[in-house]
């Protein structure tokens, strides 16, 4: 490919440049999706008028209609950013990769074929007049899922038919329970007393089937169909060696990305006035040095910026355009709020968000930025030394915000009684997330150094660090930070964190305190248990997935315990949010409760990834007490029923 034919967007996303006409008509190709397609095709910024002309050239609509539709579609939504009249794509935004998958542009990874040993050609299925065999039952029910909706009569018929004799109710239930834990058959089932039942108790109280009953034929067909599907699924499952190779490849890609990020040079830029810069301070985050550039030195500024891999600033794209600097393939991290406003209730007014508010909420700095009037006064007086000191002080606050975003993948917003985290688009690519470090600390049996107070000296940001232990919370997937005295720290209050350096010469912490849940202390009364799933919050909590129809435990627990976490949404009693993980699949849930359903049920959609490949889908969940069952669908992929058990409450 020639230099002038390069497409920076597609190169960064590792896809072929799409043809606009080929994408038109695809399922996800709405107006915004076609805007993303046009930008990917061009490989650079475009105006809405230019995009509208592509609509007309492809026969989608006229320029006038396309412009109206594009403006209604909120075009300046991640991963698209507006810079004046131009709209550009951030190929490093996680949403950009999601759109390449939705638009069927992503190069799907070639999955290794399953082992030939698993490919067993199914034998011809006998007709419904032939009795079942025990191996057919074992094959049909061996996946430990999917029979929760089967009636007690069908289950009893299958077991009795395969054994070929009348059996005691307890023996039938015990045999079935050995194959699957999730069924509706009980030894005291009263429905078999009905006149038209296909299962009847005999004189000795044993269950016996009624020969020739229509329900017997349908039970045989259902069992054999389930056995056939189970055999087909088993043939598609990867072998343990293939799973290990897949994990290794994923870890290799992740480590390569982390290695690049660790060596990347990051510049933090702060300009005044932002709409027409006269003075710009550049901070190299690698050595904490800053340098002031006035308008007469902007040529030197552009040369300095070209030496960095990542550029961070408030409204970074607009600022670079005003400075006359073309970022090229450099990654841009915007420190402006991830959304313009936030509404905390249906009746309340939207709260306008600002960088000042983000710094105060996230970092606890009360006066984070110098007032513009003070900076203007220094600029008019030509006192650049005083101006530099003020901008350097602002850089300290902006650096604290940037560090917080890298650590938490989000920024914090505290408004009156509300305290929420707002996810960032650029933080998805970064390493050193606090959750990852907590897991590493547990794995290595070491401590963390955390900074809880605002940093004023970035040459030695760890001067006032605190050593903390990482312990498991109420569930296997939550972690808690505590000090030597057992005092707990809110992870959202952590501004910086790193694994403790055993070679740093600092005094070693005291031995790990014997921290356990209060319920496990024999000498202390257990606190009153939280209300079990009922009425208002039946789904909220942490749930351990214990079976999946489509996959076995070797897969769904391969990267840690498979689980689902459901959380409430403030201000909307019918909404829930959450996340799940099984195998190498991770997703974030957007749920809606269905009113009047018994047992309680909710439906959800989800977005996530599988080994870094974007994925999405939908599903449903219902709960009875501490037991959950549901079904998850992968868009254009597999689906599976699953069961889970509550292991922790969410406050």
List pLDDT tens digits, range 519-548: 333 333 333 333 333 444 688 888 999 999
Please tell me which of 129-143, 226-240, 275-289, 523-537 the model is most confident about, judged by mean pLDDT. 275-289
Q: Which residues of 625-639 are buried (b: 16+ CB within 10 A; e: fewer)?
A: eebbbbbbbbbeeee
648 pLDDT tier (thresholds 50, 70, 90): low
Listed in sequence order, the residues at least 6 apart from 63 whose beta carbon sits closer than 8 Å to its beta carbon are 49, 52, 53, 55, 56
Distance separating alpha carbons of residues 346 and 563, to the nearest angstrom: 32
Q: Stretch 452-467: mean pLDDT, rounded?
A: 86
Helix (H) or strand (E) holding 299: helix 298-305
Lowest mean pLDDT among 213-227, 252-266, 440-454: 252-266
Distance separating alpha carbons of residues 548 and 144, to the nearest angstrom: 7
> What is the percent of the chain with per-residue pLDDT over 90, rounded to a whole number?
35
Lowest mean pLDDT among 347-361, 432-446, 619-633: 432-446
- Give the CA angle between residues 582, 588, 591 to the nearest 5°: 110
What is the sign, positive or negative, of the torsion defined by CA atoms of 423, 424, 427, 429? Answer: positive
Q: Stretch 161-181: mean pLDDT, rounded?
A: 89
The answer on pLDDT for 430 being more than 70 is: no
Lowest mean pLDDT among 419-423, 466-470, 527-531, 634-638: 527-531
Q: Stretch 555-582: mean pLDDT, rounded?
A: 84
Q: Stretch 484-496: mean pLDDT, rounded?
A: 86
The answer on pLDDT for 117 being more than 50 is: no
> What is the percent of the chain with per-residue pLDDT over 70, rounded to a whole number?
87
Structure tokens at 34: 């076609």
Q: Are 482 and 468 in contact (CB under 8 A)?
A: yes
Lowest mean pLDDT among 109-118, 146-155, 385-394: 109-118
265 pLDDT tier (thresholds 50, 70, 90): very high
Neighbours of 144 (CB within 10 A): 17
Structure confidence at residue 612 (pLDDT): 67
Structure tokens at 229: 């599907």
Structure confidence at residue 509 (pLDDT): 46
299 pLDDT tier (thresholds 50, 70, 90): very high
The β-bridge relationship of strands 466-472 and 448-451 is antiparallel
Structure tokens at 291: 């340098």
The answer on pLDDT for 186 being more than 60 is: yes
Distance separating alpha carbons of residues 403 and 68, to the nearest angstrom: 40
Q: Are 462 and 449 in contact (CB under 8 A)?
A: yes
Q: Are 261 and 171 in contact (CB under 8 A)?
A: no
Q: What are phi and psi of 506, to 5 degrees?
A: -80, 155
Q: Stretch 6-16: mean pLDDT, rounded?
A: 87
Neighbours of 558 (CB within 10 A): 17
Distance separating alpha carbons of residues 329 and 264, to the nearest angstrom: 13
What is the sign, positive or negative, of the torsion defined by CA atoms of 345, 351, 353, 359? Answer: negative
Q: Are 397 and 368 in contact (CB under 8 A)?
A: yes
The answer on pLDDT for 171 being more than 90 is: yes
Strands (E), 440-506: 448-451, 466-472, 479-482, 488-489, 496-499
Structure confidence at residue 57 (pLDDT): 93
99 pLDDT tier (thresholds 50, 70, 90): very high
DSSP 394-431: HHHHHHHHHHHHHHHSEEEEEETTEEEEEE-SGGGG-S
């Amino acid at each position: 490919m020639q230099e002038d034919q390069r497409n920076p967007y597609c190169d960064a996303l590792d896809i072929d440049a799409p043809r606009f006409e080929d994408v038109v008509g695809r399922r996800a190709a709405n107006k915004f999706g076609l805007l993303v397609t046009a930008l990917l095709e061009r490989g650079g910024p475009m105006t809405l008028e230019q995009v509208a002309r592509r609509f007309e050239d492809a026969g989608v609509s006229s320029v006038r209609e396309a412009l109206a539709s594009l403006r209604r579609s909120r075009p300046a939504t991640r991963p698209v950013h507006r810079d004046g009249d131009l709209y550009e794509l951030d190929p490093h935004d996680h949403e950009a990769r999601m759109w390449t998958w939705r638009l069927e542009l992503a190069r799907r990874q070639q999955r290794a074929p399953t082992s030939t040993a698993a490919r067993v050609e199914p034998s011809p299925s006998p007709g419904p007049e032939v009795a079942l065999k025990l191996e057919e039952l074992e094959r049909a029910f061996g996946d430990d899922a999917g029979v929760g909706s089967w009636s007690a009569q069908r289950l009893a018929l299958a077991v009795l038919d395969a054994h070929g004799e009348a059996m005691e109710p307890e023996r039938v239930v015990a045999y079935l329970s050995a194959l699957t834990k999730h069924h509706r058959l009980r030894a005291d089932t009263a429905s078999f007393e009905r006149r038209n039942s296909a299962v009847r108790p005999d004189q000795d109280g044993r269950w016996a089937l009624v020969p020739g009953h229509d329900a017997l034929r349908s039970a045989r067909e259902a069992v054999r169909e389930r056995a056939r599907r189970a055999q087909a699924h088993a043939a598609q499952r990867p072998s343990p060696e293939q799973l290990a190779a897949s994990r290794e490849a994923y870890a290799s890609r992740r480590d390569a990305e982390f290695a690049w990020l660790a060596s990347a040079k990051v510049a933090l830029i702060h300009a005044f006035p932002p709409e027409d810069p006269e003075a710009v301070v550049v901070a190299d985050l690698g050595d904490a040095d800053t340098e002031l550039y006035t308008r007469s030195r902007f040529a030197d500024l552009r040369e300095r910026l070209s030496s960095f891999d990542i550029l961070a600033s408030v409204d970074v794209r607009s600022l670079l355009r005003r400075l006359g600097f073309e970022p090229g393939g450099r990654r841009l991290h915007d420190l402006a709020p991830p959304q313009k406003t936030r509404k905390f209730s249906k009746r309340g007014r939207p709260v306008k968000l600002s960088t000042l508010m983000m710094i105060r909420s996230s970092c606890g700095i009360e006066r984070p930025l110098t007032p513009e009037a003070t900076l203007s006064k220094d600029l008019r007086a030509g006192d650049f030394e005083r101006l530099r000191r003020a901008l350097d002080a602002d850089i300290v606050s902006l650096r604290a915000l940037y560090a917080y975003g890298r650590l938490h993948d989000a920024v914090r917003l505290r408004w009156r009684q509300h305290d929420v985290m707002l996810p960032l688009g650029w933080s998805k690519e970064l390493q050193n997330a606090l959750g990852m470090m907590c897991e590493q600390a547990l794995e290595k049996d070491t401590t963390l150094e955390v900074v809880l107070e605002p940093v004023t000296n970035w040459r030695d940001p760890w001067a006032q660090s605190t050593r903390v232990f990482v312990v498991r919370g109420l569930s296997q997937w939550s972690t808690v930070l505590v000090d030597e005295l057992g005092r707990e720290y809110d992870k959202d209050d952590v501004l910086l964190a790193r694994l403790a350096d055993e070679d740093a010469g600092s005094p070693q912490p005291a031995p790990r305190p014997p921290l356990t849940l209060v319920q496990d202390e024999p000498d202390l009364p257990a606190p009153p248990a939280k209300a079990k799933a009922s009425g208002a919050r039946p789904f909220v909590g942490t749930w351990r997935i214990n079976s999946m129809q489509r996959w076995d435990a070797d897969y769904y627990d391969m990267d840690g315990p498979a689980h689902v976490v459901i959380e409430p949404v403030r201000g909307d009693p019918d909404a829930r949010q959450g996340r799940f993980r099984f195998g190498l699949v991770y997703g974030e849930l957007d749920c809606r409760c269905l009113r009047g359903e018994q047992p309680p049920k909710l439906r959800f959609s989800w977005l996530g990834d599988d080994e870094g490949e974007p994925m999405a889908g939908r599903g449903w969940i219902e709960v009875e007490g501490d037991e959950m069952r549901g079904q998850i669908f992968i868009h254009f992929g597999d689906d599976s029923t699953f069961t889970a058990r509550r292991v922790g409450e969410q406050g």
